[in-house]
Amino acid sequence: MVDYAILLIALPLFAAFLIPLVAMVNKNWPKYIPILVTAFNSVLSINLLLYLNAHNGTPFIVKIGGFIPPFGINLFIGYLAIILLMLISFVGLMISLYTINTVKDAESRYYMLFILLLMGVTGLVITGDLFNMFVFLEITSISAYSLTAYKRDGLSLEASMKYILIGSLASVFVLIGIGVIYYSTHTLNIADISNHINTVPKYIKMFSLSMLLIGLAIEAELFPVNGWVPDVYQASPTPVTTIFSSIVVKATIYVFFRVLFTVFRADLTVMNFVMGLGVITLLIGEISALKQVNIKRMLAYSSIGQVGLIVIAISSYSSMGVAGGIYQMINHAIFKGILFLGTAYMITSVSGTGKISDLKGIAQKMPISSFIVSFSIIALLGVPPLTGFWAKMMILSSVMSSGHQIIVALILFATVVEAVYYLKFIAVIYDSSEITNSFKSTIKFNKIVPIVLFALTIILFSVVPQFLVKFQDVLLKAANELTNVSSYISIVLGS
Amino acid sequence: MSWVETVYNYSYFVGAFGLIMIGLYAVMVKTNLIKILIGINLIDVGVNIFLVSLGYIKGKGAPIFSNASVTPANSIDPIPQALVLTAIVIGVAVTALSLSVIIKLYQHYKTLDISKIREMRW
Amino acid sequence: MNVLRTIALILSLGFLSSILFYKIRELRNLSIIASLSVALGFVIKFFGIYTGIKRAFSYKDLFYFKFDAFSNFFVVLILGVGLLAILASWNYMKEKKGETFFYVFFMLTILGMVGLVYSRDMLSFFIGWEVMTMGSFLVILQSNEKDRFKFALRYFIISLIGAYSLLWSMFIIYNKVHSFKFSAFNSSVFTKGELTTLLITISIGFLIKAAIMPFHTWASGAYSRSPLTFTAFFSGAMSKMGIYGLFIFLYGSIGLSAIYKTGYNEFFQTSYFQYTLVWLGVITAFLGTLRAILSEDIRVMLAYSSVGQLGYMLIGIGLGSTLGLTATLFHVVTHGLFKTSLFIVVAAIIHRTGKTKFHELGGLINNMPIAFIATLISIITLAGIPPLGGFATKWLLYEAMIEKRMFFATAITMLASIGAFLYAYRLIQNLFLGQRKLEHDDVKPAPLTMQIAMLIPALGMVFLGFFPNLLIKYTNLFIELINIDFFKLGVKVTDTAFTNSYGYWNAFYLGSAVVIIFIVSTIYYNLQRRAKIYKIGQLDIYTAGEYVTRETPLNYSFNFYGFIFDSLKPAIKYSVTNFITRISKEFIALSDFVRRIYTGNGQHYAIFTMIFTIITLIYFLS
C-alpha cells in the first residue's frame, strides 16, 4: 500500500526539528538539509504518480493511525494533489538550491522555518480533514510570519506585523467557520461533512461558508483582503517570496476551492461571487503593478493579478476551466520562480535597492539570466505557442462558455496591462544606452541552475505536443477530482 | 421565554460574541500595536469560548472514561475542547511571535503607532 | 509527400539554421536564403497544379491547414519579399549591432506569417498571428535607434489589443459554433447585434495590423525604427496580413450574406459595415498621404505612405465586389513590389550616408544610378501613372467605387492619388536630383545585394505594367476560391487585356506604345545631343555678383511643400496619436490612483477585511 505517503509530511517535520541538532555538529550542514528533504519529496511524489497511473488514476486515501474515515485523519491523494505535490517539491528543490549562500547569515533557524513552511503547504494539499487543514494553515502562516521578519530590518518587520495582524484575523474566521460546521454536522472529515451538508439549515451553512470564504480569501490573496501581500513579498528574503508566490498561494487557492466545492457543494451564486472577486483581484493587481518602481513589488502585484486569473478559471466550475486554472497554477509557479529568482540574482550583482532602474542594461553583463527572464515573461503573457498560451486558451474558452463575455474581455484587458509593465521591464534590462551601475560579475552556479531548469520546464510544456495531450488528460482528471463531490465522498468513505 | 432568559441560555455565545466585538474594536480603532495585539488575543479568546460552548451540554460532564460513572450519554462532546487546545497553542505562538516583532519594530521606528509604520505602501 | 509539411520543414530548417549558425554570417545567410528560395520555388511549382484543389491538412482535429491558390498568392508575396529583404540585409545589417538575432527573429516572423496564411482555423491563425507580432516586435528591438523601445512597445501593445479583440471574437464564435474552423461558421446562430459586434471586433484586430486610421498610431514609429530592410518586409508583406485576415474572415468565413444581414443600404448596394470600411479606407488614403507629404524624415514619409496605400486596399475590401477585391489583390502585389524596392533604396542611402532627412541629402544620382532607376520605376507605379502596374489598381478601384455609387469617396481617393504623386516626387527631387552635399561626394553605390534586391521588384513592376491581366487571371480564381457568395460582375481576362462591364484596358498595347515613344524620343534626344555638346555645371549660374560655391545651398528641400501645406501644420497637433498618448497617460494616472488602495497601514487592511466580511455576510445571508 501507499502508507508511506505520510512521509511527505513526517519527514520534513522530523528534518525541521533535526536541524538545530545538526547545526550543533557542523554549522554548514543545515543548508543542505532542505535540498535533501525536497529531493526526497520529489521522488516520493513521482513514486505516488506512478502508483496512481498503475491504478487507473483513481485517487486513494491514506489512513493515518489506521483509523477508518470519518473517525481518523485521512490523506486524499489524486492527480490534483500529486500535481501540487510535485510542484511544491520541485519548486522547493530549486529554491533550496538557490538559497545556499543567498540569505545573509542564514542560520539553522532559517532552514528550519523553511522546511516547516514547505511541510505546512504539503499538508494543506493532501489532508482530508478540515481541522487538520486549519492546523497546517497555521503552521504555514506562523513560519511565513517568521520568515518574513527574518531579515529583521524595518521593512521586513513592518511587513511581518501587517501579515500577523491580517493572518490572525484569517485564522479566527476559519476557526469560527470550522466550529459552526462542526456544530451542525458533528464531524470534521471533509467527505463526511460534504455528505451531511445538505441537512444543515441554510443560514448556518451560509454563515459558515462565508466565514471560511473570508478566512481563506485572506490566505489566497483575493482583492479586498490582500493588503499584506505586496509588503510581505517585497520585504521578505527572495527565496521566501518565491515560495509565497509559487507555492503557498497555490496551496491556499486549492484549499479555498476544496472547501467551497467539496465541503459546501457551492452553487452558482457562490461561484459568481468568487468569480467577481477574481476579476477585481486581477484588475486591481495588474493596474497597481503598472507604475511600480521596485521589482519585487511589481512582481508581487503581478502575482496578485495571476491569482485573480486562476480564481476566475476555477470558479467557472466547468472541468475545462478548472483544468485551465490548475494549468495556470503550474505555469505561474514556474514563471514566478524564474522571475523572482532571476531578478534577485540580477539585483545581487548590482548595487542598489531593488529598483527596476538599477537593472538598466544588465543584459550585456548577464545575458543568460536576462534571456531566460525575458523568455519567461513572454511565456507568462501567453504568447503562442508557449505554455502560458495554452492555459489561457483553456481558461478563456471555459469562461466564455459559462457566458461571461465581459469577463473574457476584462481578462484580455488585464493581459494588455500586464504586457505594458513587463515589456517595459524587458526594455530596461536590454537598454544599451549607457550603464551607470557597477557590476560585480560573479557567476554563481547554484543560482543559474535553478533558473535554467525552470526554463527547460517551460520548453517541455510548450513544444512537446504529445506530452501536452497526455498532460491535458491528467489536468482534466485533476479538475474532476476537485469538482466531483460524490466520487470524493465514495473514495473516502467507501461506497 | 423572555429575552433575559434567552440571553441567559445562550450566555456563552453572547459572551464570546462580546469578546470578539471588543477585540475587533481594538483592532480597528486603536493605533497602539500592543493594544491591537490585545484585541487579537481577545478575539482568539472569544472564538475559543465559542468553540467550547458549541460542545457544551448543560448538566453533562467531561468524558473521562476512567471514571466509571461517565457514560457517553452523560458526557459532553470532547472534540471542540481538543480543537480549542490546539487553537490556544497556536494563539500563544502567534502572540509570542508578534510581541517579539513589535519589540523589534519599536527599536527600529521608536513608535508603536501603527499608522506611522508604513514605509511600504502603494 | 504532403506539400504543406514539406514547406513547413524547409522553413523550419531555415529557422533552425538561423539559430544554429547565428554567429557565422555567410553560412547563416546562405542557409536562410536557400531555405526561403526552395520554399518559394516549391510554392510556385505547385501553385498552378493545386489551383482549385483543396489540399487540406489537419492535426489532432484542432489545427487545419490548406494549400490553395489564395494562400499561395500571399505566401509567394511573403517569401518573395522576405527573400529580397534578407538579401538586402546581408550588407545592410553587416557588423551592425543585433545582426546575429535579427535573422532569427526575421525567420520567426516569416514562419508565423506562412503559418497563418495556410491556416484554415482560427486557433492556428491566431498562433501564427501572435508569432508574427512577437517576431517583428523582437526585430524592432534589435535596431540601432535610440528611441526604439518606445515605438516597439507602442507597436506591440497596440497589436496586442488588436489580437485580443480578435481572440475575443474567436471565442464568441467558438462558443456558438463549437469549432474554430473557418468553414464551420454559421451565421444563423447569431443575432443581428452579435454579428455586428463580431464584425466590429474582428475588423479592429485586422485594421490595427493594417495600420488603418484611427488605428495607425504605431505605424510610423515601428516602420521607421525597425532595421530598414526589415521595414521593407514589414510594409511590403506584413501589413498585408491585415488585408488577408479581413479577406478570409469577412468573405471566406463569415460570408457576404451574413454581413448584409447586419444592415443593408439599398442606394450603395452594400452594408453599413462595409460602407464604414470604405470610408475608413478613403480617410486613411487621404490623411496618410497628407502626413506623408508633410514628413521631413524619409522613413517616416514612406511609413505614412504605406498607411495611405493600405487605405486603398481597405477600400477594395470594403466594397466587397469582384472589382473591388480584384483591385485590392492587385494592389497588394504592386504595393508589395514598390514598397520593398523603395525601402531598400532608402536603406541603401541611409546605409551609405547615415542621413535620414530629405534636406540632408541630394544629388545622389551619379553615386547610386541603380537606386535611382529602381526609385523611378517604383514611384511611377506608386503614383499610378499608366505604363506601369499602379494604374491598373487605380483604374479598377475607381470603377469599383463608382459601381457602388460612392462618388464623393471616389473624388477624395483621386485627390489622395494626386497627393501620392506629390510625395513620391520628393524621393526623386530631394534624394537623387539637385545639389549634392559636399560630404556625399564619394558616396559609394548601394551594396550589391541591395542593388539586386531593389532591382528585382522594379522588374516585376515593369512586367506587371505590361501584363496586368496575368495577375488578374489569378485573382479571379482566388475570389472564386474563397467562396464569395454573390457577385454579378467579374473581370474578364484575355491574353492582353482585361474587361469589365465598364470598360476595357489593354495594358500591353499602351505599355508598348509608351516604350516605343520612349525609345524614339531617346534616340531623338541623343541625336540632338550629339549635335551640340554644351555641358552646364550645377554652379554655372549667374547671381547678383556673388560667387557661388558648393557650400551654397542652391536647391531647397526642407519643408518642400510648405508653400501649399503650411496652413495645415497646426492641424497635425490634433492627431490621433496625441489622443492615444493622452489616453494612455490618463490611464497611468488612474492606475496610480487605484494602487493607493494599498495604503500601507495595517489597520486599514483590517478594516477592509471587516468591510469585506460585512459584504460577504450580506450577500450570502440575504
The residue of chain A nearest to residue B37, with distances taken between CA atoms, is A165
Task: Indicate the burial class of B39 (C-beta count within 10 angstroms; 0-12, 13-18, 19 or more).
Answer: buried
Per CB-CB distance under 8 Å, the chain C contacts of A270 are 620
Chain A 420-439, residues with CB within 8 Å of chain C CB atoms? 420, 423-424, 427, 430-433
Mean pLDDT computed over C76-95? 86
Read off the pTM: 0.91
Say if residues A285 and A302 touch (Cβ distance below 8 Å): yes
Residue percentage of chain A with pLDDT more than 90: 38
Per CB-CB distance under 8 Å, the chain C contacts of B120 are 600
pLDDT for A166: 92
Whether A320 has a pLDDT exceeding 80, the answer reads yes
Say if residues C59 and C73 touch (Cβ distance below 8 Å): no
- Show which subunits contact C, needing at least 3 CB pairs below 8 angstroms: A, B
Measured between CA atoms, how close is A227 to chain C, in angstroms?
Answer: 6
- Average pLDDT along chain C: 82
Say if residues C477 and C52 touch (Cβ distance below 8 Å): yes
- C308-312, C334-338, C435-439, C520-524: least confident range: C435-439
Whether C503 has a pLDDT exceeding 80, the answer reads no
In order of C10, C13, C31, the CA distances from C19 in angstroms are: 14, 10, 11
Whether A436 has a pLDDT exceeding 70, the answer reads no
- Average pLDDT along chain A: 87
Which of C157, C602, C619 faces A161 most closely, judged by CB atoms?
C602
Distance CA A346, CA A440 (A): 10
Of C163, C59, C404, C120, the residue nearest C252 (C-alpha): C120
| Cβ contact, residue pair C601, B27, below 8 Å | no
Q: Which three cell numbers stand for residue A123?
A: 499538508
Whether C485 has a pLDDT exceeding 50, the answer reads no
pLDDT for A55: 85
pLDDT for A491: 87
Q: How many CB pairs under 8 A join B and C?
A: 30
Q: Does A209 touch chain C (CB under 8 A)?
A: yes
pLDDT for C51: 45
- ipTM of this model? 0.92
Mean pLDDT computed over C12-37? 85
Residues contacting residue C553 through CB under 8 Å, at least 6 positions apart? C435
Whether C540 has a pLDDT exceeding 80, the answer reads no
Q: Does A176 touch chain B (CB under 8 A)?
A: yes
Q: Does A229 touch chain B (CB under 8 A)?
A: no
Q: Which three cell numbers stand for residue C151?
A: 515605438
pLDDT for A259: 92
Distance CA B79, CA B12 (A): 18
Interstrand relation of A74-77 and A60-63 (parallel, antiparallel or unpaired): antiparallel
| Per-position DSSP letters for C343-378, written without gaps between them | HHHHHHHHHHH---BGGG---TTTT-HHHHHHHHHH
Distance CA C142, CA C100 (A): 9
Mean pLDDT computed over A56-69? 82
Chain B 21-40, residues with CB within 8 Å of chain C CB atoms? 24, 27-28, 31, 36
Per CB-CB distance under 8 Å, the chain C contacts of A427 are 141, 149, 152-153
Per CB-CB distance under 8 Å, the chain A contacts of C590 are 287
- A125-139, A429-443, C238-252, C503-517: least confident range: A429-443
Distance CA C406, CA C410 (A): 6
pLDDT range class, residue C489, cuts 50, 70, 90: very low
| Cβ contact, residue pair A169, B117, below 8 Å | no
Task: Indicate the burial class of C512 (C-beta count within 10 angstroms; 0-12, 13-18, 19 or more).
Answer: middle
Say if residues B114 and B36 touch (Cβ distance below 8 Å): yes
pLDDT range class, residue A439, cuts 50, 70, 90: low
| pLDDT 10s digits, C172-207 | 888 888 888 887 888 788 888 888 998 999 999 999
Per CB-CB distance under 8 Å, the chain A contacts of C616 are 210, 213-214, 273
Say if residues A427 and A344 touch (Cβ distance below 8 Å): no
Whether B71 has a pLDDT exceeding 80, the answer reads no
Whether A277 has a pLDDT exceeding 70, the answer reads yes
- Give the strand order in the sheet containing C503-505: C492-493, C498-500, C503-505
Chain centroid to CA A151: how far?
23
Whether A121 has a pLDDT exceeding 90, the answer reads yes
Chain centroid to CA A431: how far?
32
pLDDT for A252: 93
Distance CA C465, CA B15 (A): 95
The residue of chain C nearest to residue A382, with distances taken between CA atoms, is C130
Residues contacting residue C349 through CB under 8 Å, at least 6 positions apart? C298, C355, C361, C364, C368, C371, C431, C446
Which of A217, A412, A432 faces C164 most closely, judged by CB atoms?
A412
Sign of CA dihedral A231, A236, A238, A242: negative
Distance CA C137, CA C133 (A): 6
Of C345, C200, C371, the residue nearest C280 (C-alpha): C200
CA dihedral (C561, C566, C569, C570) in degrees, to 10, reads 180
- A475-489, C288-302, C436-450: least confident range: C436-450
Per CB-CB distance under 8 Å, the chain B contacts of A168 are 40, 43-44, 94, 98
pLDDT for C52: 43
Q: Does C610 touch chain B (CB under 8 A)?
A: yes
| Cβ contact, residue pair A157, B86, below 8 Å | no
pLDDT for C493: 56
3-state SS class at C264: strand
Chain A 275-304, residues with CB within 8 Å of chain C CB atoms? 284, 287-288, 290-292, 301
Measured between CA atoms, how close is C620 to chain A, in angstroms?
Answer: 6
Which is more confidently placed, C539 or A372?
A: A372
Mean pLDDT computed over A181-193? 88
Which of A162, A210, A230 faces C617 most closely, judged by CB atoms?
A210
Chain centroid to CA C361: how far?
26
The residue of chain A nearest to residue B23, with distances taken between CA atoms, is A169
Per CB-CB distance under 8 Å, the chain A contacts of C97 are 432
What would you report as the CA-atom Rg of chain B, rounded to the nearest whole angstrom? Answer: 20
pLDDT for B39: 93
Which of B44, B87, B101 faces A164 most closely, judged by CB atoms?
B101
Measured between CA atoms, how close is B121 to chain C, in angstroms?
Answer: 4
Q: Does C603 touch chain B (CB under 8 A)?
A: yes
At CB < 8 A and 24+ separation, what contacts does A284-289 make? A284/A223, A284/C594, A284/C595, A284/C597, A285/A223, A286/A414, A286/A417, A286/A418, A287/A417, A287/C590, A287/C591, A287/C594, A287/C595, A288/A230, A288/B122, A288/C591, A288/C594, A288/C595, A288/C597, A288/C598, A289/A417, A289/A418, A289/A421
Residues contacting residue C9 through CB under 8 Å, at least 6 positions apart? none
Which of A269, A384, A465 faces C130 most closely, judged by CB atoms?
A384
User: Per DSSP, which regions of A233-295 are E strands?
Assistant: none
| Cβ contact, residue pair A154, B33, below 8 Å | no
Q: Does A146 touch chain B (CB under 8 A)?
A: yes
| Cβ contact, residue pair C175, A162, below 8 Å | no
Measured between CA atoms, how close is B75 to chain C, in angstroms?
Answer: 34
Measured between CA atoms, how close is A180 to chain B, in angstroms?
Answer: 8
Please tell me which of C531-535, C539-543, C601-605 the model is most confident about, judged by mean pLDDT. Answer: C601-605
- Other CB atoms within 10 A of residue C622 CB: 6
Q: How many CB pairs under 8 A join A and C?
A: 136
pLDDT for A37: 92
Task: Indicate the burial class of C532 (C-beta count within 10 angstroms; 0-12, 13-18, 19 or more).
Answer: exposed
User: Per DSSP, which regions of C403-511 are E strands?
Assistant: 492-493, 498-500, 503-505
- Show which subunits contact B, needing at least 3 CB pairs below 8 angstroms: A, C
Fold of B3-57+74-116: Helix Hairpins (1.10.287)
Which of B50, B93, B104 faces A152 most closely, judged by CB atoms?
B104
Whether C437 has a pLDDT exceeding 80, the answer reads no
Per CB-CB distance under 8 Å, the chain B contacts of A171 are 90, 94
Q: Does A225 touch chain C (CB under 8 A)?
A: yes
| Cβ contact, residue pair A427, C590, below 8 Å | no
pLDDT for A333: 92
Measured between CA atoms, how close is A161 to chain B, in angstroms?
Answer: 7
